[in-house]
Amino acid sequence: MSNLGPGAATQVANAAKADATRRQGEASHPQSSAWVSANAGSGKTHVLAQRVIRLLLSGTPPGRILCLTYTKAAAANMANRVLDILGRWVGLSDAALNAELARIDDRPPNGDLRARARRLFAAALETPGGLKIQTIHAFCGGLLHRFPFEAGVAAGFSELDDAGRLDLMARIRAELIVEATGTPAGRLGQALAALIETLSDAGVDALLEAAVDARALIEPLGGDADARRAAVARVLGVAPEETPERVRRDMLASPHLVRSEWASIAACLREGAKTDQALGEQLALAAVASSEAEALPAYLGVFLTDKYEPRAASRFLTKGLRGLYPELCDRLDAEKERIIGLLDRLRAAETLARTDAALTLGAEACRRYAREKAQRGLLDFDDLIGRTAELLNRVPASWVHFKLDRGIDHVLVDEAQDTSPEQWKVVEGLIADFFSGEGAREGLTRTLFVVGDEKQSIFSFQGADPRTFGDMHARFAGAAGPKDFRNVRLPHSFRSAPGVLEAVDRIFA
Ligand SMILES: Nc1ncnc2c1ncn2[C@@H]1O[C@H](COP(=O)(O)OP(=O)(O)O)[C@@H](O)[C@H]1O
Ligand SMILES: [Mg+2]
């Protein structure tokens, strides 16, 4: 390190920053589509804001730019970044504005450009026709409100927001539980009873919540409870009529060790060594049990450990005992094998019972949720996305763009790692003719710009998957074909603490 002189760490850092800024400039070039995958703090939102501004400076009407993201916070962040800069420009001196313009754009600033730059703030805020920076849900809601007939939604529908959904779920949950506990012999009552053994009240709440979240998977299973159970049984490889009770009964009904012989067999085991004696104790306990429920754990204890794992061969029947009672020991070995086989069946039967119960309650919660929404003309967030994706993929993109004021020519997506596959369908629908056909008219550049951090997906529960991000990149790059579609990485973090660099420099000063 002796070749590092005073301030060297800062110099190295400045060089890295300069390189990062150059890459950012490449990514924000408004004539080329681009895909940016980079860590938090590398300046992705910064680049997006710069790109919007460069588009505006180059004469793109604000209304033709659409910025989308998943959360309201991220949408507000995008809007603030753009408007902060444009707002500041309004009051800058010519010299100061020239310096800013030179930093952001590669054209030499002149009077025309400065005049345009100063008008952008007002133009961006204009409605209609202003800049669209929205959550993807808000965009979809707006689109559906404009074309309810084409989208097949109730005209004047309301959006079910998070608070509304919480209310609705609380009511559905309360009604379901009152009904289930009121009719314990009914399907709902039995389902709740089956779950309450292993789930707390909070667990039941979470289950209903998860079911409504997963309604796209649950609803297609249909309303027929028997068919649903049969489908689960098929996956588990058990008969649909299988129950844990049946398997437990079979466990106690051994063809090898008839129950009336248990006491005498226990006596034989007690003649052996210590480990044999312990098995004898278990069997004796089972023999005197006053109920099946009491007998079963004792009986299983002969063959299985406390953890319900098969006893090791070395801990099951000693050589001495095998010499003494060879035929009995063979029967005990055979019984052990039979019990091990039944244990798998028991686990499958328990899984079937619990899954069936969970699906019974879950499907009912989904049914009521859908009914409430239909009755009250509500669309939830998933509906907004799903209906829009469906609309965009049914009608030609040119039709939608024709109907959307003057159309959208530039789509920018921030925090794209949080975009779910359904949401990607919306983006795909919007840009369907950006690169080909009528939409890619002579002289008009239409671009897609996506920034995200594949390592940072916080919404895996809503269907976003780090792999989706990479897959979508490949798809869009493929759709762009020979059109310029830049793949940019931003390896530098602008958030790394400058204090550390200063400390390094002080040491070498
Ligand atoms: N080229 C740059 N020069 C100076 N600061 C930058 C540059 N690019 C980004 N920053 C700053 O770095 C921080 C992180 O940028 P941001 O765009 O929020 O990153 P990301 O969206 O990748 O998390 C912000 O404070 C931003 O202003
Ligand atoms: Mg960001």
352-406 pLDDT, tens digit each? 999 999 999 999 999 999 999 999 999 999 999 999 999 998 888 788 877 776 6
The pLDDT tens digits for 278-296 are 999 999 999 999 999 999 9
Of 334, 341, 340, 345, give the one whose Cα is nearest residue 247. 345
DSSP assignment, residue 108? P
Best residue among 19, 46, 78, 415 to mutate for probing ligand 1, ranked by most atoms within 8 Å of CB: 46
Average confidence (pLDDT) over 470-494: 88
Atom index in ligand 1 nearest the CA of residue 20 equals: 1
Q: Is the dihedral of CA 121, 123, 127, 129 positive or negative?
A: negative
Atom of ligand 1 nearest to the CA of 49: 17
Which tens digits make up the pLDDT trace of 45-62? 999 999 999 999 999 999
Cross-strand bridge partners of residue 457: none
% of the chain beyond a pLDDT of 90: 69
Taken in order 137, 140, 146, 147, the sign of the CA dihedral is: negative
Residues 11, 14, 18, CA angle at the centre, nearest 5°? 140
d(CA 88, CA 117): 10
Span 297-319, average pLDDT = 94
Question: What is the arrangement of strands in the sheet containing 33-37, beginning at the earlier edge strand?
Answer: 132-135, 65-69, 410-413, 447-452, 33-37, 485-489
User: Is the domain covering 8-78+131-155+381-508 a CATH 2.40.50.140 domain?
Assistant: no
The C-alpha atoms of residue 475 and residue 477 are separated, in whole angstroms, by: 5
Binding-site residues, ligand 1, Cβ < 6 A: 21, 24, 38, 40-46, 494-495
Cα gap 486→334, rounded to integer Å: 68
Beta strands in 235-389 (DSSP E): 378-379
